[in-house]
Structure 1
């Protein structure tokens, strides 16, 4: 019985990996999915929170529990970008060394 369960579980894992391999999935208004080969950051910077046919992206599904703080902050950045309609990165500022800004 356990061997059969392990085989079925392994097959399910492989199937789930194949569904989203190298694709970003967004949820659009109405609950549908939109798939793209671009990573979520590039997509939102280039195209905003809209699909190629004009549907509004409403969600980037991601884990919220058991995530390290850096990943969680990046997911939050994506959530905020979708809410604003576009990902815009802040202007970078240089640190000063010896009273002078790095260029």
Structure 2
């Protein structure tokens, strides 16, 4: 993916969602409590990818690019993955089910 790539936005977005984002968010439930500084690094990586996907310059708003691509921020994505992971894991144990529900 680069600015002069012949791929359209849909294909670039598919590459990001299927290859790059899973690498960035690998084991997200374990490290969902990382510091804001470390999360900012991940957000910056996603923002660079968004600029390449949409072909926008560095002055384009991130919120607009997220809306255009239908993506969520890395923090939101990690929180969603973590919540789903922990809820499904805790529901199967009688002890943890009584604590949460």
Report the structure, 1 or 2, having the larger helix content.
2
Q: TM-score, normalised by structure 2?
A: 0.27
Q: TM-score, normalised by structure 1?
A: 0.27
Report the structure, 1 or 2, having the larger strand content.
1
Larger CA Rg, structure 1 vs 2: 1
